[in-house]
Structure formats: structure tokens, C-alpha cells
Amino acid sequence: MKKPDLKTLPGKLRVWKHKRTLPGAAPGAISLSPDAVPPKLYLTSFSAELLLETPVDSLDMIKERIKSHPDLLHWVELKGFGNRALLENFCHEFGIHRLEMEDVINTYQRPKLEEFDDHLFIVTRLLKTHQDASLRNDQLSLFLFGKVVITIQENYDEHFDSVRTRIRTGKGHLRSSSADYLAYTLLDSVVDTYFPLLEFFGEKLDELEDELFTSPSRHSLHNIQIIKRELIVLRRAVFAERDKVK
């Protein structure tokens, strides 16, 4: 992960507006934000001997691939929430309950794992820094069905380059393992991004400590307040991730 400039901090505290269902809405209602980006679909299917990464532009193409290659593992990606009909069809095709999809769309859920008869539903936090050093806190929703792993994100950000490289090169056990190992690998790659964040904030705190001893100012106190706020967000995410995997 590329580090932001250590000399830069936001001029004011940034408040991220989290999407939530409107009060009074029916349970399972899919309430979309007006600025939601159009959804994009991706499908990666593989085994130890075969890899298919052909583009898909419809749920029918995904359904046909899974049906015609039942021996492969399938990683389905949905990025973007800007199409209610597609989201509803997605729920129908994969047997995702509307209450689960409501949690997917309302993108500030605590990290959690819910176990159902035929699948697992997992929520994890995607944390990264902007160039102005503010912390961005997005959500990854993951479903595990048999030989199918589904990941859903609100935006087009790419978080899994390292996993794609492992799939394409065939190194390690990923191509010859089960779908639950793929799900574990995806979640592990998310947690790995937390360590550069800790390193960044540790370096920034060291800089602020030096500044307080040499030339303290109101600006120094302001930066301490900002970092404190960001560390609280990071702590909440990390502690909830820890509780989830116990």
C-alpha cells in the first residue's frame, strides 16, 4: 500500500457519511444512495489445471459459467450499488436473503460472521489512507457458498492484487485448495493492510512528539486530535476483526 506524505495532515476533521436504511423502511429494504456507482461484475474461475478470467457483463453469464464448470472454484465480484434491479436479481440467483443484502448496502456494519445452513456471510472493514493522511473506512461483504466465493464492495477500489497474482501464477496452495481457503486468503489480505497503517501512524506520532518538544503550537494539538480520531476508528475495526475470528 502506498504511504501518504508524512508531512501532510487534513486541515480539518473529515466525517464520512455512512449509508443507512431510512427510518421506518421495511426490513430488508434496499435503499440506494443517489451517488452510488454503476455495478461492475467480475468472475474468476480456477482449479489447479485451469484458469478462466473472461469478462462477464450479466448475471446470466456468471450463472452459465458456474453451471458449466461445477468442478472449478468461482470467485464472483460485485463492485458498485447503482442498480437496484441487478442487486435484487443477485440476491435471487445466489440465495442471499434481503436482510443480508440490507447489511451489504448499509456500509457501516461491524465486522461479523453469520453462519447459515448453506453459506457464511462475513463483513470486514477495508481501511486505507488518502494522500492527505485521512483514514478511509470502507466495507467488504463476503459470502461463501460451496465452491463459490462472492465479494461485494461499494466502489471500484482494488484491494486484492496480491491474491490475483497468486491465482494467475499458480504459486502456493491457492489453486489446489477449497473455496474456504480462498475466502480465508481474501480476508487475510485485508488484515495485512492494517500493519502499514499502524506503521504510518507510529511514524507520525514520533514526528509530533519531536515537534512538541522543539516548537509546540496550536497546529500540533490539532494534528494530535486528528490522529487520535483515526486511531479510534482503526482500533474499533481491529478489535471487532479479532472478536470475529475467535
pLDDT per position as a tens digit, 66-110:
999 999 999 999 999 999 999 999 999 999 998 999 999 988 888
Residue 19 pLDDT > 60:
no
- How far is Cα 125 from Cα 12, in angstroms, rounded to an integer? 23
In this prediction, residue 227 carries a pLDDT of 85
Residue whose C-alpha is closest to residue 73's, from 55, 95, 48: 48
User: Domain segments of the chain: what residues?
Assistant: 40-192
- How far is Cα 3 from Cα 128, in angstroms, rounded to an integer? 9
Cα torsion 146, 118, 58, 181 to 10°: value is -30
| pLDDT tens digits for range 53-76 | 988 889 999 999 999 999 999 999
In this prediction, residue 177 carries a pLDDT of 95
More confident residue, 16 or 38: 38
CA distances to 86, 158, 189 from 166, in Å = 30, 15, 12
Residue whose C-alpha is closest to residue 38's, from 80, 2, 77, 78: 80
CA distances to 20, 82, 86, 98 from 26, in Å = 13, 20, 20, 11
User: In terms of CATH, what superfamily is 40-192?
Assistant: CorA soluble domain-like (3.30.460.20)
Q: Which three cell numbers stand for residue 192?
A: 495485512
133: Cβ contacts below 8 Å, ≥ 6 apart: 4, 5, 6, 8, 9, 10, 200, 204, 226
Mean pLDDT of the 14-31 span: 53
Backbone angles phi, psi at 132, to 5 degrees: -90, 10
Mean pLDDT of the 207-235 span: 85
More confident residue, 19 or 236: 236
DSSP state of 17: P
Residues in the chain: 246
- How far is Cα 222 from Cα 22, in angstroms, rounded to an integer? 34
In terms of DSSP bridges, do strands 148-153 and 135-145 run parallel, antiparallel, or are they unpaired?
Answer: antiparallel
This prediction has a pTM of 0.83
Residue 187 pLDDT > 90:
yes
